[in-house]
Amino acid sequence: MTQDEMKQAAAEAALAFVEEGSIVGVGTGSTANHFIDGLGRMKSRIRGAVASSEASAERLAGHGIELFDLNHVSEMPVYVDGADEIDASLAMIKGGGGALTREKIVAEVATRFVCICDETKQVEVLGHYPLPVEVIPMAQALVARELSALGGRPVPRAGFVTDNGNLILDVHGLEIRDPAGLETAINQIPGVVTNGLFARRGADVLLLATPNGVRKLT
């Protein structure tokens, strides 16, 4: 089974969490794309979706799924998205695709966060994958110095601008033993929009695809 086939299996399993007639929160990335394609097959059974990126919005629209502005949505039973790393407490590093801020906003509105991953994303300690931090451009140098003081090695993501018009610093070399504490600490730095730690509000359910099937962890 290839990694992409595992991503697809996790995404297909997440369709069972979609409630009839609901508005679905939709993540970003290759695993989320498989979920969007599955959602396309059951579009007559949902009201529509809120997208966490322009890319996902375009793919959802391509399936004829109605898009909702989050400001007009007060109830969203489920948000489904992938992750770059996830630990046993279901804290995650996200933002490999640069959509971390909108992902965190949409996830916050949802009652339940269902994370869909292949088994390569499961780790004991977060941080091997560089932690993305979205930064307002004028604060890049300041934020980079502060992230270095926290023990990381920030590297600007070359040629990348987020959907919100900002930059990403990918922070290498972290061994994240206190994900919620680091999430809060980084968010205190002026100029940081969001960081890719999803620990204060982690996943509620992990659908982890392995060559032997999809495991559900809570």
Q: Which residues bind ligand 5RP (CB under 6 A)?
A: 27-32, 81-84, 94-100, 103
CB 119 within 8 A of CB 7: no
Measured N-to-C along each axis, helices 3-14 and 30-41 cross at an angle, to the nearest 10 degrees, of 50
The CB-of-118 to ligand 5RP minimum distance in angstroms stands at 8
Is residue 54 among the annotated active site residues? no
Q: How far apart are CA 27 and CA 94, in angstroms?
A: 10
In the chain, % helix, strand, coil (3-state, to 5) comes to: 35, 30, 35
Identify the active-site residue in 5, 12, 85, 103.
Answer: 103
Residue 30 marked as a ligand binder: yes
Match 């931090």 to its residue by tokens.
133
The CB-of-21 to ligand 5RP minimum distance in angstroms stands at 26
The residue among 47 and 112 lying less far from ligand 5RP, judged by its C-beta, is 112
Residue 97 marked as a ligand binder: yes
Reading phi first (left if > 0) and then psi (alpha if -120 to 50, else beta), residue 191 is in left
The residue among 23 and 83 lying less far from ligand 5RP, judged by its C-beta, is 83
The CB-of-1 to ligand 5RP minimum distance in angstroms stands at 16
CB 113 within 8 A of CB 202: yes
The residue among 38 and 82 lying less far from ligand 5RP, judged by its C-beta, is 82
Annotated binding site for substrate: 28-31, 81-84, 94-97, 121
Active site residues: 103
